[in-house]
Chains A and B, each alone.
Chain A
Amino acid sequence: MADVILDIPIAAPAKPAATFRNLVHNPGVVFGATVILIVLLMALLAPWLGTIDPTAINPIARNKVPGAEFSLRTDTGERIKMIALFGTDGLGRDVYSRVVYGARISLLVGVSVALISVACGLFIGLLAGFFRILDAIIMRIMDGLMAIPAILLAIAMVSLFRSSVLTVIIAITVPQIPGVVRLVRSIVLSVREEPYVEAAVTLGTSTPKLLWRHVFPNTIAPMIVQGTFICAAAILVEAILSFLGIGVPPEVPTWGNIMAEGRQVFSLFPHNIIYPGVFLAMTILAVNVLGDGMRDTLDPKMAKRV
């Protein structure tokens, strides 16, 4: 039998290019990313979108319905007439401005919590997955933290410290970490058994290099997907905390506390709840849909991993 040089490549091009194309073609990714982009622009360009100072109290313009006119005293002392696109709240503040500025906190909290919790969770999870001794200790602590329902843990942490955006971020991050640790750990444990990792051991690859070169890349896609879902959850929890009155300081407008202030007069003036509510729901939905879309393209097996 002839010993042929057999080198005909079988299939497709290298993976990274194909993945990016798939991502961009996924409808979920497109929808989610677009909406998030719009909200992001809204947050960044807030001062130039026809808004006024969101904290400006204006007693004579209380409880105006959406579309009504109201008069406002500017810094220079003049009185000008403005249209309250989304109405005004019980203290006369322009709901439209508050909603636009409110986007800032939501996005800031969402992204910060996602980044910090993924970074911490990744680090701890890699350690737990690879070093058996650390594993036992770490997982006990994680189990304990997971036993306290996330919102309660966040509430508890907020109650301890002075109210500020940083406190809220930390309070929401901590309960998310165990979930990430669990996911990373399960990935590490399954990758460790793969023959190519064992092969690397026989080649004399040191443990840090093993982790970096062979184990860590398997966590990238799941982490991106998980981070996205955490972002959505964080935006939601922040809104809940603000709604309950135990979130960021009341002067800072967030969608949650706009709704909180409108509770009492809800039946008469639902606009306080509807507008921020719609923005909140749309944003969270967009992030979740983005996460779903990314998971379907990047890591379809992830759905099973609890």
Chain B
Amino acid sequence: MYGYLFRRLLGTIPVMLVVAIFIFLMLRLTPSDPAAIIAGDNATTEQVAKIRGQLGLDRPMVEQFFIWSGKVLSGDFGESFFFKKTVASLIGERIEPTLSLALITMLLAVLVAVPLGVLAAHRHGSWIDRIVMGFSVLGFSMPSFVIGYLLIYLFAVWLGWLPVQGYQRISEGLGGWLRGLVLPSLTLSIIFVALIARMTRTSMLEVLSEDYIRTARAKGQSERKVLFRHALRNAAVPIVTVIGLGVALLIGGVVVTESVFTIPGLGRLTVDAVLARDYPTIQAVILLFSFVYVMINLAVDMIYTLLDPRIRY
């Protein structure tokens, strides 16, 4: 088992390498001169040349890549020309809101979706099944900003129960922090619940037609135990897989949701950076998000070894 994990860990290195190369090339492949873009429209040629020297853009490509990678690995993402701070500090101050939003969303989604999926599979073909399936297609199709505005209109504008936008840090009070996150996480989690409920149902249905389910029934086992002890434990692997893959959608959704609810997190940072063509920040954020995604999928692989003994031995 440790061999398997070790190999998976090693396997993430080429992946991150490809990501790093792509991100690195991103800046270098623009049709326009990156130094000129960063310097801005009103820069003089000397300023542009100075920036080019600063960024090391006059050195050969491969050398640039190594210099850049070295800096990145030691935490130096450069300086944001737009925000006038180091990118690292920018990320530092924006990470809490994003993390809070992401965690609460995932928790909510899994706690609601898995039971719904199991229920739908158990009552395959009934009206419950149809409702869950219908809801899941709907949830998957509605853009999160549409849902977001709908919820804002309903709960914040019309009913006035919750704040329209904004974010309160934990340090300023748990209650306010939670209240600020209710609408955004509800918005974001709808897509997840849709995705996870669907996968749970599909996976459960497939497992329920396996031979060992028949064996359990032949032993006189109750339906409830058959469902949870035998079916769900075997259906868990694809479900966990889809949760892992869903993190990619989560990241994308975070970007939109933070915009809708004006939460000062990494998602908003990305959008602002793109609008301002602030390349150091864009690079750093994408690198960070990709790294997190890869790590989460690695964690998913580790969870597999817990769930499926065939991988362990």
**Contact, chains A and B (beta carbon distance below 8 A):** yes
- Closest-by-CB residue of A relative to B297 is A147
Q: Which residue in A140, A157, A232 is a CB contact (below 8 Å) of B141? A: A232
B140 near A288 with CB under 8 A, answer yes
CB nearest to A144 among chain B residues: B18
Q: What does the 1/0 interface line of A264-284 toward B look like (CB < 8 Å)?
A: 001100100100010011001
Q: Which of B18, B259, B274, B294 contacts A243, CB < 8 Å?
A: B259
6 more CB-based (< 8 A) A-B contacts, given A147-B18, A148-B19: A140-B18, A148-B293, A149-B293, A151-B252, A284-B143, A292-B137
- Scan A138-165; emit 1 where CB is below 8 A from any B CB, else 0: 0011011111111111011111111000
B290 near A240 with CB under 8 A, answer no
Scoring B14, B141, B241, B247 by chain A CB atoms within 10 A of each residue's CB, the highest score goes to B141
- Contact code string B209-220 (vs A, CB < 8 Å = 1, else 0): 000000000000
Q: Which listed residue (B30, B238, B241, B252) contacts A152, Cβ 8 A?
A: B252
The interface size bin for chain B is 35 or more
Given contacts A143-B15, A246-B271, A246-B275, contact A148 B145 (CB under 8 A): no
Task: Mark each residue of chain B from 281 to 307: 1 if its CB lies under 8 Å from any CB of chain A, else 0.
Answer: 010011001100110000000000000
Q: How far is the CB of A51 from the nearest CB of chain B, in Å? A: 23
Contact among B143, B152, B153, B247 for A240, CB-based, below 8 A:
B143
Residues of B within 8 A of A147 (CB): 15-16, 18-19, 290, 293-294
What residues on A are CB-neighbors of B22 within 8 Å?
Answer: 144-145, 148
Cβ contact within 8 Å between B252 and A150: yes
Q: How many Å lie between the Cα of A144 and that of B14 in the bound state?
A: 8
How many A residues have CB within 8 A of the partner chain? 46
- In the complex, per-residue mask of B233-271: 1 if CB is within 8 Å of any chain A CB, else 0: 000001001100101110110011001000000000011
Q: Which residues of B contact A246 (CB under 8 A)?
A: 271, 274-275
User: Nearest Cβ distance between residue B224 and chain A, in whole angstroms?
Assistant: 25
Identify the 4 closest CB pairs spanning chains A and B, nearest first. Answer: A144-B18, A151-B252, A285-B141, A277-B146
Is A244 located at the chain interface by the 8 A CB criterion? yes
In the bound complex, do residue B17 and residue A266 qualify as a contact, i.e. CB atoms below 8 Å apart?
no
Q: A143-B15, A306-B241 are contacts. A148–B286 as well, Cβ < 8 Å?
A: yes
Please, which residues of chain B bring their CB within 8 A of the CB of A280?
143, 146
Within 8 A of B (CB), among A117-148: 140-141, 143-148
Q: Does A236 contact B (CB under 8 A)?
A: yes
The contact string, 1 if C-beta is below 8 Å from chain A, for chain B 131-148, is 000000110111101100
Closest chain A CB from B162 CB (angstroms): 14
Does A245 belong to the interface (CB within 8 Å)?
A: yes
Chain B residue with the shortest CB-CB distance to A142: B18
Assembled-state Cα–Cα distance A153/B245 (Å): 15
- Chain A hits for B146, CB < 8 A: 259, 273, 277, 280-281
Among A200-227, those with CB < 8 Å from B are: none
Q: Is A304 at the interface (CB under 8 A from chain B)? A: yes
Q: Of A287, A288, A289, A304, which is within 8 A of B206 by CB? A: A304
B275 contacts A245, CB within 8 Å? yes
> B271 to A151, Cβ gap below 8 A?
no
Would you call B145 and A150 a contact (CB within 8 A)?
no
B111-167 residues at the A interface, CB under 8 angstroms: 137-138, 140-143, 145-146, 149-150, 152-153, 157, 164
Nearest B residue to A259 via CB reads B145
Which residues from chain B contact A259 at a C-beta distance below 8 Å? 145-146, 149
A278 to B285, CA, bound (A): 32
Q: How far is the CA of A289 from the CA of B130 in the complex (A)?
A: 13
Complex Cα gap A277–B277 (Å): 28
What are 28 A-to-B residue pairs whose CB atoms are below 8 Å? A144-B14, A147-B18, A147-B290, A148-B19, A148-B289, A149-B247, A149-B293, A151-B251, A151-B255, A152-B285, A152-B286, A155-B274, A156-B286, A157-B26, A161-B31, A239-B143, A240-B145, A240-B255, A266-B149, A277-B146, A280-B146, A284-B143, A285-B142, A287-B141, A288-B137, A288-B140, A303-B206, A306-B245
Complex-state Cα separation, A143 to B290, whole angstroms: 11
1/0 contact trace for A94-120 toward B, CB 8 Å? 000000000000000000000000000
B168 within 8 Å of A (CB atoms): no
CB of B73 closer than 8 Å to a CB of A = no
A140 contacts across to B, CB distance below 8 A:
14-15, 18
| Residue in B15, B23, B202, B293 whose beta carbon sits within 8 Å of that of A304 in the complex | B202
Contacts of A141 in B (CB 8 A): 18
